Amino acid sequence: MEASVTWAGGPASLRFVALPELERIRALDAPPADRAAVFADACRLNVLYMIARAGSGHIGTSFSSIDVVSWLHLEVLGEGERYYSSKGHDAPGLYSVLIALGRLPFEKLEGLRRLGGLPGHPDVLSTPEVVTNTGSLGMGISKAKGFVLADRLAGRSGRVFVLTGDGELQEGQFWESLASAANRGLHEITAIVDHNRIQSDFWVADVSDLGDLQRKVEAFGWAVGRCDGNDPHSLGPTLAGLERGAPDRPKLLIADTLKGAGVSFMEPHGLPPGGDELYAYHSGAPSPDEYARAVEEIEERLTRRLESLGVSPLALEAAEAPGRSAPRSPQRLVPAYGEALAELADAEPRLVALDADLLLDTGLVPFRKRHPERFFECGIAEQDMVSQAAAMALTGLLPAVHSFGCFLSTRPNEQIYNQCTEGTKVIYAGSLVGLAPGGPGHSHQSVRDISALGAMPGMSLLEPASEHEARLCLEWAVRDAPGSVYIRLVSVPWDLGFDPPRAERLVPGRGEIVRAGADALLVGAGPVLLSQAYAAAERLAPRGVDCMIIALPWLRDVDGGWLAEKAAGAPIFCLDNHYASGGQGDAVAAALAAQDALPVGPVRRLAVDRVPECGTNDEVLHAHGLDAAGIAARVEAAMPARVQPVA
């Protein structure tokens, strides 16, 4: 779950472990495994601090893997050797370890998920200590092979340690990557599975069971070991034994861990397998109370451990929790979509829903509750999900397929095309689209999905600006659409700042005027940029530039004649919560360029101009010039001289 969670603040102070104390731990004269356990717990405190400050971040997986990450960095990795996490969302754990080692500036502790700070998922350009960009799953071992082959070509040698999730192993690329590593004898690679048995919010066994993992991986020619991944006393010898036992083969260590390890109430002891109850600490910040209890438990354990090593307890530093504002009357598109889907399914028995381990984040809880036999959980296996849906559609069903936009539009891209060529209809609902939330970083900021899906034959692409429009989009997709439909959904609750469009139904290719004005036309889809455009227009009006704003949910197949008539020759600004290339602006520009009956003013695009920044939503919109101020400035600067306030 990536939605930003509000840290309520309250009277609680946050607490962190400062650098001198971290250095004291590293210098401890103690058995390595004991020292590593203390080090990992100190890093846990700093993970909690970072995530509480940021208001979001993945605690569960940072904690399950942090003993492995600590052990590798303290005792295993040598010069020129690489470690990275393939799943990537355990980045707070890695960051806290690198900070504790002095390899990242200590002040970065304040900067998780902030502009210029540490991105929600690892990024080599903003954080050179990071080995490779991860966050989209399943790429880790392929990359390890690339590193090793490049090293061998250059006459270098050095081991590569890759951490993977266990849910991540549902991705086909993991299995695709195994064979050639064994065939080429890439013994430099050790993969470590953070086997915490919970993916996102449910047990792996309930989502898509991995079966006998050891047997599977051994069948691919890898050497496999297994240990308690939260105990350095078990980790160290098992890793060493695996290395000795398989000097010429790639190795995989199944590290049995607990999600949320190290904080008893974050470990899934009370979570019954097979049930509907969610694991609560996959992502999102803890409440102030949870934060305080977690710190207390770790601190007590640390004190005991240090005492047993004969040294004094840790002194924690205190800091205030930052305040955070919440939207006042936000549009919540994903729940609106999800409710509509569950309701429409009553009247449309052909409707079935498929999900790739994002039940909550794609709004499917109501559908699953209401139509359990028509809900199919596919696990983190988007290619497999889409091809299953394609076959279901061939039998006459109407499948609705769900994931985050960044994954749904890309991972099964060829499978979606294959489905479209069959002339069937499938609804693809991609959530978490656009720049916001800005915290997870570019692996999750879906600003390329319109382009990636924009040329699927017969597919309509829609992006609603409001809950009402989300329902209209789905109704149109289910009842009227001649072919497949992509529905692009902003996930973060968002204040529009204007009365949402209220049409009774969608008119293909056309939108709604949400603000009248004659000097310029601003066109866009979705709540994030339309809200900023509206605020920009309100700023520009007193300056003599009166902007019309059209909410245009159609991302392709734009009615150019209708739009040209509305624009009446005024300059047109296309807002794209997406890269300029391939976005809605391309479709608008092309539809207008084909007009020869009406005069059309120049068409400019205000769009994402580079790989998205990571930060708060405000920071990110501002950095890309797509907040109200940026839009107002760019519109005003581009207005032709002829547009002047009329006396």
Return the range that interacts with a second copy (CB under 8 A); candidates 28-36, 105-113, 378-386, 538-546: 378-386
- Asked if 585 is part of the footprint of a second copy (rule: CB under 8 A), the reply reads yes
Q: Cα dihedral sign for 223, 226, 229, 235? A: negative
Nearer to a second copy, 455 or 513 (CB): 455
Site string (242-281) toward a second copy, x via CB under 8 A: ----------------------------------------
Is 72 in a helix, a strand, or coil?
helix
Rounded-to-10 torsion of CA 408, 411, 415, 421? 60
Shortest Cβ 248–a second copy spacing (Å): 15
Among positions 453-482, residues that touch a second copy (CB under 8 A) are 454-457
In sequence order, the β-bridge partners of residue 615 are none
| Residue 240 binds to a second copy (criterion: CB under 8 A) | no
Nearer to a second copy, 386 or 429 (CB): 386
Report the residue from 391, 507, 516, 568 that binds a second copy according to the rule CB under 8 A.
391
The binder of a second copy chosen from 31, 102, 116, 176 (CB under 8 A): 176
Closest CA to 530 of 538, 539, 522, 518: 522
Quick check: bond before 11 cis, omega within 30? no
CB of 415 to a second copy, least distance (A): 6
Smallest distance from a second copy to CB 77, Å: 17
Which of 351, 592, 620, 631: binder of a second copy (CB under 8 A)? 592
Site for a second copy in 346-365 (CB under 8 A): 352
Strand partners, 400: 353, 427
CB of 565 to a second copy, least distance (A): 16
Site string for a second copy, 528-557 (x = CB under 8 A): ----------------------------x-
Site residues for a second copy, window 423-442 (CB under 8 A)?
A: 423, 442
User: What whole-number distance in Å separates Cα of residue 92 and Cα of residue 97?
Assistant: 9
Non-local CB neighbours of 477 within 8 Å, separated by 6+ positions? 427, 460, 462, 485, 487
Q: Work out the burial of residue 107: count CB atoms within 10 Å of its CB; fewer than 13 is exposed, 13-18 middle, 19 or more buried.
A: exposed
Query: Residue 451, interface with a second copy (CB under 8 A)?
Result: yes
Secondary structure of residue 403 in the 3-state scheme: strand
Nearest residue to 556 (alpha-carbon basis) of 609, 481, 501: 481
The piece of 35-43, 382-390, 527-535, 617-625 that touches a second copy (CB under 8 A) is 382-390
| 3 state SS of 20 | helix
- The Cα 264–Cα 83 span in angstroms is 28
CA distance 128 to 217: 32
The pair of three-digit structure tokens given for residue 471, joined into one six-digit string: 């329902």
Which of the ranges 2-10, 142-150, 513-521, 622-630 carries the binding residues for a second copy, by CB under 8 A?
A: 142-150
**Residue 568 binds a second copy, judged by CB under 8 A:** no
| Residue 415 touching a second copy (CB under 8 A) | yes
Selected from 6, 265, 387, 510, the binder of a second copy by CB under 8 A is: 387
